[in-house]
């Protein structure tokens, strides 16, 4: 088994096929989208492949250490930051092929007009455990 | 109460229930419930006959569940009376459980989870924590696995090779959570070796013992990897090595060589060397040749290239490496090592950095990055010296 992260971007991914901002969907289309995502997660739990799923606020802050005894410096958000993560799902699957298959299904979530968004999702493998026997 | 002792009784108790006519999935649930009760109640009130106690409690829980189920679904039940045990021996029953839980119809991950629960007696929560997934996900994985094997009849002969692959996966996949999976794999393989006389089962047990013996030497205080050649051999567990070697020798004497015996033989040659320099690399290469005949695995050929590099020099190792597919995992790391031994530090540093980028886990990536950094520092020093000479 291997764990993969499916990353959903607000910004930074190539444009999806059905590229209409969510605010311009009908309420029913939004409900259908949310329902699809929930069903997808529930189905993965049923197959024993679900690990985690979270959505992120688009507004974030950059923070860094500013030296001994000083409070951390905060800055941002930066409108020019190219890559903005919207959320993720973590899956635990038997193969890379299965991870690609599931990412494809998630990308088919319905959007404007009830048609699939064809959104680009970024698939990233986790670094696993170090095996005991390597020689 | 020793939890390991309670868990060692798991397969025997489960087998009794199945032999009495309980279906596997329901019997397995009942045994889990009984185990939970045992762990809770035995410290204060230990039974005289632990297995008998577990059978009685598990059978009662099975009947309760079945009756509730039957009442709810108005389903016919044929388990009201306690049937007499069949003729099969406890040894056969335990063996059949191993076969069932490693059945080829299961994915490797499902077989691992089911084996740890039904044969190992671990709880779903423990297994979930060990594999870093939510408990609900692991519960589903196990119940699907139980459904998959529910059609399989326990009296069909199984293939011991599938069981060994599952146990190998449990051993090799690292350790996390509150269960020591490597130790658990050794326990389950030892238990299997007690019920089936098979040289490859002995070979796998020896392999696990020989690798487990080196565990304390494998990581530094800060958690970083220590390569075999640099390990403090005083920290190796000599009792475990002695046991592994003895089991291996008995298996090899039967002259039915298999993959795990050959791997164990290589591990034994490493364990036998008082220092890394005294390692018998020529014999190790011979064992890799045997392994290459037994499996077509490219990983074996990669490891053979390392051994050839030690036995016949880095140039020979690099020649052996040249024949292997460039995309093979860890090939770049091996190339870096051989180039360094050959004195080409610049190529080695570049390859170590590249290998770190490709590493499949954090421990290896950190180790390879340190190797690249070490060589880059030496190259820097040399450049300084040259500038100083001028």
* d(CA B80, nearest CA chain A) in Å: 33
Percent helix, strand, coil in chain A (nearest 5)?
Answer: 30, 30, 45
Which run of H or E residues covers position A91? strand A84-93
* Residues A17, A120: Cα–Cα separation, whole Å: 9
Interface A-B, measured as beta-carbon pairs within 8 A, has a size of: 86
- Give the ipTM: 0.83
* Residues B167, B182: Cα–Cα separation, whole Å: 9
* d(CA A111, nearest CA chain B) in Å: 28
Q: Is A45 on the interface with B (CB under 8 A)?
A: yes
Q: Is A48 on the interface with B (CB under 8 A)?
A: yes
How many residues comprise chain A?
135
Q: Is A128 on the interface with B (CB under 8 A)?
A: yes
Q: Regarding beta strands A50-55 and A2-11, do their DSSP bridges make them parallel or antiparallel, or are they unpaired?
A: unpaired
**H helix runs in B80-180, sequence order:** 90-101, 108-114, 124-130, 135-149, 160-172
Nearest-5° Cα angle at B3, A133 to B7: 70
The answer to pTM > 0.90 is no
Whether residues A48 and B110 touch (CB distance < 8 A) is answered with yes
Tens-binned pLDDT, residue by residue, of chain B (390 aa): 577 788 889 998 998 998 888 889 999 999 999 998 998 888 888 899 999 999 999 999 999 998 887 776 654 444 444 444 444 566 678 888 999 999 999 999 999 999 999 999 999 999 999 898 999 999 999 999 999 998 776 656 678 999 999 999 999 876 566 788 999 999 999 999 999 999 999 999 999 999 999 999 998 888 888 999 999 999 999 999 999 999 999 999 999 999 999 999 999 999 999 999 999 999 999 999 999 999 988 999 999 999 999 999 999 999 999 999 998 989 999 999 999 999 999 999 999 999 999 998 888 999 999 999 999 999 998 888 888 776
Q: Is A67 on the interface with B (CB under 8 A)?
A: no
* Residues A18, A117: Cα–Cα separation, whole Å: 5
Whether residues A3 and B110 touch (CB distance < 8 A) is answered with no
Closest chain B residue to A92, measured at CA:
B133
Q: How far is CA B179 from CA A126, B3, B52, B217, in A?
A: 22, 12, 26, 20
Nearest to B303 among A44, A46, A135 (CB): A135
Whether residues B263 and A50 touch (CB distance < 8 A) is answered with no
The answer to whether B227 and B214 are in contact (CB under 8 A) is no
In chain B, what residues touch A43 (CB-CB under 8 Å)? none
């Amino acid at each position: 088994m291997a764990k993969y992260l499916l990353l959903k971007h607000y910004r930074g991914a190539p444009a999806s096929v059905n590229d209409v901002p969510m605010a311009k969907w009908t309420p029913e289309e939004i409900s259908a989208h949310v329902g699809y995502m929930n069903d997808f997660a529930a189905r993965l739990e049923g197959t024993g492949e679900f690990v985690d799923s979270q959505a992120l606020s688009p507004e974030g802050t950059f923070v860094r250490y500013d030296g001994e005894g000083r409070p951390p410096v905060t800055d941002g958000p930066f409108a020019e930051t190219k890559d903005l993560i919207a959320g993720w799902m973590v899956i635990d699957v038997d193969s890379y092929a299965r991870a690609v298959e599931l990412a494809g299904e998630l990308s088919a979530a319905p959007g404007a007009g009830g048609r699939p968004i064809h959104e680009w999702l970024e698939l990233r493998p986790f670094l696993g455990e170090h095996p005991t026997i390597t020689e | 109460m020793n939890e390991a002792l309670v868990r060692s009784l798991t397969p025997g108790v489960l087998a009794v229930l199945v032999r009495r006519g309980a279906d596997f999935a329901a019997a397995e649930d009942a045994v889990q419930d009984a185990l939970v009760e045992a762990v809770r109640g035995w410290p204060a009130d230990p039974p005289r006959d632990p297995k008998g106690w577990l059978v009685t409690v598990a059978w009662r829980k099975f009947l309760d569940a079945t009756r509730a189920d039957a009442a709810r679904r108005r389903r016919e039940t044929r388990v009201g009376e306690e049937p007499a045990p069949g003729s099969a021996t406890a040894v056969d029953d335990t063996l059949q459980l191993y076969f069932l839980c490693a059945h080829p119809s299961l994915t490797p991950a499902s077989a691992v989870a089911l084996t740890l629960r039904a044969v190992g007696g671990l709880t779903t929560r423990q297994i979930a924590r060990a594999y870093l997934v939510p408990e609900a996900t692991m519960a589903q994985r196990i119940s699907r696995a139980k459904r998959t094997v529910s059609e399989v009849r326990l009296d069909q002969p199984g293939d011991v090779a599938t069981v060994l692959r599952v146990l190998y996966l449990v051993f090799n996949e690292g350790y996390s959570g509150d269960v020591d999976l490597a130790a658990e794999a050794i326990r389950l393989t030892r238990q299997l070796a007690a019920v089936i006389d098979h040289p490859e089962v002995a070979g796998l047990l020896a392999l696990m013992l020989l690798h487990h013996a080196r565990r304390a030497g494998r990581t530094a205080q800060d958690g970083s990897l220590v390569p075999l050649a640099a390990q403090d051999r005083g920290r190796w567990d000599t009792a475990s090595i002695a046991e592994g070697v003895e089991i291996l020798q008995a298996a090899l004497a039967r002259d039915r060589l298999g993959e795990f015996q050959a791997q164990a033989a290589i591990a034994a040659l490493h364990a036998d060397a008082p220092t890394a320099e005294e390692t018998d690399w020529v014999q190790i290469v011979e064992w890799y040749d045997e392994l290459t005949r037994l499996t077509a695995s490219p990983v074996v050929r990669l490891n053979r290239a390392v051994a050839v590099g030690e036995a016949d020099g880095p140039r020979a190792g690099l020649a052996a490496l040249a024949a292997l597919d460039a995309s093979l995992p860890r090939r770049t790391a091996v190339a870096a090592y051989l180039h360094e031994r050959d004195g080409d530090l610049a190529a080695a540093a570049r390859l170590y950095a590249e290998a770190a980028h490709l590493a499949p886990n954090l421990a290896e990536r950190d180790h390879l990055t340190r190797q690249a950094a070490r060589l880059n520092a030496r190259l820097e020093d040399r450049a300084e010296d040259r500038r100083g000479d001028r």
